[in-house]
């Protein structure tokens, strides 16, 4: 498993993957120190991830074409697959997610699987909000979830003053 570090506008991300695909893309709470270094000879999926994340944050990309290889239970993988169907600049609720999975009673399990998503942004768990429109939990922090949703918003609000 190779590791790459990516400096996004909302903090450092640690990317892990190999030739079979991207296994994780998670935000770090700390700055990268000199002892943490990107692996040499990155796999093609990691190289592609670095390019496509740069394009996403530059506003030039709305979807990703990266082989993914997240590790989880069958149910988690089903939830993560469903997350990838949420279009850019759109949101859904945890309840709608549970309904789409075929059972409204799995709302808590779906929310838990959403929270364990190991591939931030590319598997867009930030696009799931509360039924009342509130910004409910995000493993990367609510400040990042808010930034990502604003970044993807079709309506850009500039500063008034």
Task: Output the domain CATH number for residue 6.
Answer: 3.30.160
pLDDT tens sequence across 102-133: 999 999 999 999 999 999 999 999 999 998 98
pLDDT band at 136 (very low <50, low <70, confident <90, very high): confident
Domain with residue 91: its CATH number is: 1.10.10.10
Range of weakest confidence among 24-33, 98-107, 146-155: 24-33
Structural domain of residue 7, as residue ranges? 2-57
To the query of whether residue 23 is one of the catalytic residues in this protein, the response is no
The answer for residues whose C-beta is within 8 angstroms of residue 104's C-beta and 6 or more apart is 95, 98
The answer for residues whose C-beta is within 8 angstroms of residue 49's C-beta and 6 or more apart is 4, 6, 15, 17, 22, 25, 66, 122
pLDDT of residue 160 exceeding 60, the answer is no
pLDDT of residue 137 exceeding 70, the answer is yes
CB count, 10 Å around CB of 53?
23
pLDDT of residue 161 exceeding 80, the answer is no
Q: Which of 125, 128, 129, 148 is catalytic?
A: 125
């Amino acid at each position: 498993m190779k590791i790459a570090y990516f400096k996004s506008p909302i903090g450092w991300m640690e990317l892990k993957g190999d030739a079979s695909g991207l296994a994780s893309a998670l935000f770090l709470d700390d700055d990268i120190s000199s002892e943490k270094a990107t692996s040499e000879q990155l796999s093609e999926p990691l190289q592609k991830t670095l390019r496509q994340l740069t394009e996403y944050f530059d506003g030039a990309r709305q979807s990703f074409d990266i082989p993914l290889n997240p590790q989880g239970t069958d149910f988690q993988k089903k939830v993560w697959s469903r997350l990838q169907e949420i279009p850019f600049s759109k949101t859904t609720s945890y309840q709608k997610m549970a309904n789409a999975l075929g059972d409204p009673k799995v709302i808590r399990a779906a929310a838990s699987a959403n929270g364990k998503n190991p591939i931030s942004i590319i598997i867009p768990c930030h696009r799931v909000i509360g039924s009342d429109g509130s910004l409910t939990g995000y493993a990367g922090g609510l400040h990042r979830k808010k930034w990502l949703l604003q970044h993807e918003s079709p309506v850009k609000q500039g500063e008034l003053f």
